[in-house]
Structure 1
Amino acid sequence: MMSEDKDFTLEVGVGMTSFAEYLRPDLVTEDVVRLDKDSTSFPGVSIKKGTDLVANAQRLPLAAESVGSIFCKDFFGSHYPPNDKYKLSLNFSSGNIGDLSEIAKEWFRVCRRDGKVIILETNTPYGYRGFSEDIDLKNVFESSGFSLKEEYHGRGREGVNKIFSQEGVVDLKRSGVFSVFQEESYVLVFEKP
């Protein structure tokens, strides 16, 4: 079991690029630990050398109320555009992310009071029904105890860019990352009361 006296941000499902460093300071902490999907073993948990944390997203090796925020990008939606554009999937090449309601409950358990969950989906429009049953991320996370605090749709200044710091927006534009964000991109920011 990992234990931290200091607040940290858990970054989930972002692939090779870390995005937490570009977010607004009120959303994330200075220390970031990555949950690396490419090295995940299912079922079970292991800690890699270095700073990467490897685990099933619905069963984290963290103490209750030990995380300041959780950030995930393209974790719940389509993982392989454009061929599978809008194909929602809980599966990707290295395994299954787990049951959505169990993930939300686990993330509620590990988040500190006033802790945040920031969900950024750049490939899949909000409310798209690709699962066998209707799944609404807002409903799933609110049912687990979180409150929805912010919601943005689309690209640009009034869209998903609102979660990034001014410096982060400049850096991401310069790197060309924003150019791959779809117009259907959205952000949901939840907070633990």
Structure 2
Amino acid sequence: MYQKELFVTYDMLDATCVQNIARSDYKAFSHLYDRYWDLLLSVALKKTGDSDIAMDIVQDLFVDIWQRRSTLPQIDDVRKYLITSLYFKVFMYFRKQGIQQRHISSYFTFLENEKEEDFLQLLEGEIQHTQLLTAIEESVEDMPERMRQVFNLKYYRSLSNKEIAETMGISVQTVKNQLMRSLQHIRKSVPEHLSHSTTFLFALFFLS
């Protein structure tokens, strides 16, 4: 009886599930995790070619979602949002490895046996995703030197604010200020038709 009630309770619209996660509903989070884990792992594995790396990336994605649940944006298409989120995670992994360009130019192979309309929807999202990543890269290159250095150390080398401060010989507060300004710089630089996309909302969510 308990299992049946649990199934009925959490067999909900994905968007509602995410809203519940934002209210710290761990059962809703577990539902989302169980529902999309295999799909996301399959996508990550096809792109990275390494099962351990793929599992780490997907796990990291879900950890970030739960840790930042209170700031989750409104999400209408959760499946597309999660795949886009995964794309960004994989991109950041390859960016840290210094293998950036070829993964931006031909970004992802989609799952086999997709319905045609789903494939076309994802393909459209992929094109927009690639455009956005390129726009972010160009925005970073256009940043003042100190801001760009702080941004790169934070997001491409995964240093903590304290480690960045020690590396650059500046205060932690200066690091925080530079990071805040770097995100403002990106917001202003990204073309308007991309700035309202799910991809961009996700990028800001995980960069914040």
TM-score range, shorter chain: under 0.3
Higher Rg: 2
Q: TM-score, normalised by structure 1?
A: 0.28
* Higher fraction of helix: 2
Structure ranking higher on relative contact order (CA contacts 8 Å, 6+ apart): 1
Q: TM-score, normalised by structure 2?
A: 0.26
* Higher fraction of strand: 1
